[in-house]
């Protein structure tokens, strides 16, 4: 597999021989399912729950649109890793000629990684408090320690994938079960598919949903996960890309369904109920209105979400530093350091749900910095050769980037006018 990230001869890209014994496509699934856990983190839960509780079905269209954009983004990220044998941070690091811009780009990417960690650790801490009554700081420490244990299997990609996929199954059951107990309104869902906003609060939540769904660190991580998984593969590139499309489709279908179900559950069971704009309030309302089983499953799903996503976030942060600064620190050390901001917020009694939602807004502002370079690189022949984007793919990527930038601009104007 080429390792330079700049290929001018298409035949080099297809030179990987086909394995003498055909491998089943299922063997090639996994990287997207791991990266996709970023779309099921506690930030998604907080954003979607808050949106459903406050605005009912209004923002269903945002969740659906975000998932469609996410499919395109994650496929392009994986394709970049499969074809070039390098991650997006590595390719960008090689293209920044001057140290200053490279460090500036790394700083914003690290800010995104920190915001991700805050959401994941706080989510795990809230879940442990709901389930066992633990203080938030203690729950945050436990979440961090368990995530460190999960990272010990990261050097074995297949084992790591199975662990994460097991947690994804728990997340799906935990968040989807309530929809069958409290079915949403069909007419409400239909109305929620019509794009519209109701005031600056709904714009803020839309940006939060987009930031939680289209995760910048997932873009960086997916290219690295694909690179690591297929680094020694003897399967031809076209077949790997076909399997990758299936991998991404399955991952995004799962993530999209769960996210929609979270919002629908809140819209059907929590709209108009006081105090449901927090995770704790939502849990209490579910417990009283839908039943203790659904409420407990919700808390278990939230805990699995925090544990799984924090491991993937740490992996992404390490790849960002390696690719842009050409430096590595031990993954476990990095994870321990990245816990500090989240634990500080818990220690000063910051509102957990508000911190989660605002962390997703920070992520939404980091999206263009990951998405624009990704679209640009995957459209260039010298990077991907004959596997570069088709014109329609590039147009779709540009349109998604423009939409996200405009939404963030609206958000900034609205927040400034209300300050």
DSSP string of 312-348, one letter each residue: HHHHHHHHHHHHHHS----HHHHHHHHHHHHHHHHHT
Residue 48 lies in a domain: yes
> Residue 74 in contact with residue 32, Cβ under 8 Å?
yes
**Looking at residue 4, what DSSP letter applies?**
S
* CA nearest to 66, candidates 301, 227, 259: 259
DSSP string of 10-51, one letter each residue: HHHHT-SPPPSSPPPGGGG--HHHHHGGGGGSHHHHHHHHHH
> Residue 72 in contact with residue 396, Cβ under 8 Å?
yes
CA atoms within 13 Å, Cβ hemisphere of 175: 33
> Residue 337 in contact with residue 113, Cβ under 8 Å?
no
**Which CATH number characterizes residue 183's domain?**
1.20.1740.10
Residue 108 lies in a domain: yes
Between residues 8 and 100, which one has the greater pLDDT? 100
Residue 96 lies in a domain: yes
Whether the predicted pLDDT of 77 surpasses 70: yes
Question: Mean pLDDT lowest for which of 51-55, 288-292, 359-363?
Answer: 359-363
Question: Per the structure, how many domains does the chain have?
Answer: 1
pLDDT at 68: 92
Residue 335's pLDDT band (cuts 50, 70, 90): confident
Whether the predicted pLDDT of 226 surpasses 80: yes
Whether the predicted pLDDT of 243 surpasses 80: yes
pLDDT at 372: 92
Contacts of 325 (CB under 8 A, 6+ apart): 93, 102, 103, 106
Residue 298 lies in a domain: yes
pLDDT at 398: 93
Whether the predicted pLDDT of 80 surpasses 50: yes
Whether the predicted pLDDT of 317 surpasses 80: yes
Mean pLDDT across 115-140: 90
Between residues 333 and 61, which one has the greater pLDDT? 61
Mean pLDDT across 107-116: 85
CA atoms within 13 Å, Cβ hemisphere of 281: 19
Backbone angles phi, psi at 18, to 5 degrees: -75, 140
Residue 5 lies in a domain: no
pLDDT at 26: 59
127: tokens are 């879940």
Between CA 150 and CA 381 the distance in angstroms is 39
Residue 6's pLDDT band (cuts 50, 70, 90): very low
Question: Mean pLDDT lowest for which of 23-27, 248-252, 271-275?
Answer: 23-27
Question: Mean pLDDT lowest for which of 44-58, 69-83, 217-231, 320-334?
Answer: 320-334
Which single residue is written with the structure tokens 């395109």?
Answer: 72
Residue 88 lies in a domain: yes
Give the range of the structural domain holding residue 227, as residue numbers without chain letter: 10-17+24-418
388 φ/ψ sector (left φ>0, alpha ψ -120 to 50, else beta): beta
pLDDT at 309: 83
pLDDT at 16: 45
* CA nearest to 35, candidates 297, 319, 393: 319
pLDDT at 212: 67
Mean pLDDT across 31-41: 84
Whether the predicted pLDDT of 1 surpasses 70: no
Mean pLDDT across 294-302: 92
Q: Of all residues in the chain, what percent carry a pLDDT higher than 90?
A: 39
Whether the predicted pLDDT of 328 surpasses 90: no
Residue 94 lies in a domain: yes
Question: Mean pLDDT lowest for which of 33-47, 146-160, 267-281, 321-335?
Answer: 146-160
pLDDT at 412: 67
Whether the predicted pLDDT of 10 surpasses 60: no
pTM for the structure as a whole: 0.85
Residue 3 lies in a domain: no
Between CA 87 and CA 80 the distance in angstroms is 7
pLDDT at 298: 92
Mean pLDDT across 375-399: 94
């Amino acid at each position: 597999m080429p390792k330079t990230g700049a290929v001018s001869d298409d035949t080099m890209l297809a030179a990987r021989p086909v394995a003498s014994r055909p491998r089943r496509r299922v063997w090639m699934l996994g990287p997207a399912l791991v990266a996709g856990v970023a779309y099921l983190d506690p930030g998604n839960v907080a954003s979607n729950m808050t949106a459903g509780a406050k605005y009912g079905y209004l923002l269903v269209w945002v969740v659906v649109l975000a998932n469609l954009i996410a499919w395109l983004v994650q496929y392009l990220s994986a394709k970049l890793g499969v074809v070039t044998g390098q991650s997006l941070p590595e390719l960008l690091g090689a293209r920044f000629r001057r140290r200053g811009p490279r460090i500036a780009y790394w700083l914003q990417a690290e800010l995104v990684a920190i915001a991700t960690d805050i959401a994941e650790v706080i989510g795990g801490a809230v879940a442990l408090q709901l389930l066992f009554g633990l203080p938030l700081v203690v729950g945050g420490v436990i979440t961090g320690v368990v995530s460190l244990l999960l990272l010990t299997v990261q050097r074995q990609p297949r084992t790591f994938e199975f662990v994460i996929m097991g947690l994804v199954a728990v997340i799906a059951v935990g968040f989807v079960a309530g929809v069958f107990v409290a079915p949403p309104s069909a007419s409400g869902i239909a109305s929620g598919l019509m794009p519209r906003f109701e005031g600056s609060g709904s714009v803020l939540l839309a940006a939060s949903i987009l930031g939680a769904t289209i995760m910048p660190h997932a873009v960086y991580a997916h290219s690295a996960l694909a690179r690591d998984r297929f680094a020694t593969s003897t399967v031809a590139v076209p077949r790997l890309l076909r399997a990758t499309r299936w991998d991404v489709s399955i991952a995004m279908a799962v993530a999209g369904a769960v996210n929609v179900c979270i919002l629908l559950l809140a819209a059907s069971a929590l709209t108009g109920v006081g105090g449901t704009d927090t995770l704790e309030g939502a849990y209490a309302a579910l417990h009283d209105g839908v039943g203790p089983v659904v409420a407990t499953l919700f808390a278990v799903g939230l805990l699995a979400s925090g544990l799984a996503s924090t491991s993937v976030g740490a992996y992404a942060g390490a790849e960002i530093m390696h690719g842009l600064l050409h430096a590595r620190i031990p993954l476990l050390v990095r994870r321990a350091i990245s816990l500090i901001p989240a634990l500080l917020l818990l220690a000063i009694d910051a509102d957990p749900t508000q911190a989660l939602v605002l962390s997703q807004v920070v992520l939404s502002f980091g999206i263009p910095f990951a998405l624009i370079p990704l679209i640009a690189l995957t459209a260039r022949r010298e990077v991907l050769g004959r596997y570069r984007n088709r014109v329609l793919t590039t147009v779709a990527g540009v349109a998604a980037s423009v939409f996200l930038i405009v939404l963030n601009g609206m958000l900034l104007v609205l927040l400034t006018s209300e300050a």
